Amino acid sequence: MPSPRHPVASHRGMPSPINRPMVQILILVGTESGNAQMVADALKPVLEGAGHTVDVSDKAASAADLVAHDVLLVICATHGSGDIPTNILPLAETLERERPDLSGHRYGIIALGDMTYQDTFCGGGKKVDKVFELCGATRLGVRLEVDASSQPLPDEEALGWVEGWKDLV
């Protein structure tokens, strides 16, 4: 009779993800200057290390682009007067206009902004968060708002945040 499967320690001394369900995560990047992409590049291996399959896209434009993924992680910069970056704007506008049923999706938001502009701080990420909420998606955890005026390297703050967020997935 074969012995039952038991989780074993990995080479890093961390528990194996055997007893945790693997999910398909899509990191959606909304960027103008590349900071959101830098955050995505830093978080992808952390989420993969937790046993998940992770894709990164800065070109999603409709709900059809989200279907193959259980969980979405939106990393969204802010530009102009609290605006959504141009590369993710088509997705946000389409979701807001069509209001597809995203109730089967869970998501997280990392909003990048600059408190120097208090009235529009993290406006892009806040707007995208609202759009996903309107479509019925369930946010996992709190939205991370990274202030460029006090944290010049947004990936550092995001790496701390994702450690708690990945446990909610």
At 118, the pLDDT band (50, 70, 90 cuts) reads confident
- Cα separation, 61 vs 140, whole angstroms: 22
Q: State residue 116's pLDDT score.
A: 85
The encoded tokens of residue 84 equal 């959504």
Predicted TM-score (pTM) of this structure: 0.85
- Closest by alpha carbon to 155, among 66, 50, 31, 52? 31
- Closest by alpha carbon to 28, among 118, 95, 117? 95
Q: Which domains does the chain have, with CATH numbers?
A: 20-168 (3.40.50.360)
Q: State residue 50's pLDDT score.
A: 94
- Cα separation, 8 vs 20, whole angstroms: 13
pLDDT in tens, 38-63: 999 999 999 999 999 999 999 999 99
What CA–CA distances, in Å, run from 2 to 5, 6, 30, 111?
A: 9, 12, 49, 49
Amino acid in position 118 = Q
Question: What is the rounded average pLDDT of the residues 142-169?
Answer: 89
At 16, the pLDDT band (50, 70, 90 cuts) reads very low
Reply yes or no on whether the pLDDT at 79 is more than 60: yes
- Cα separation, 80 vs 101, whole angstroms: 30
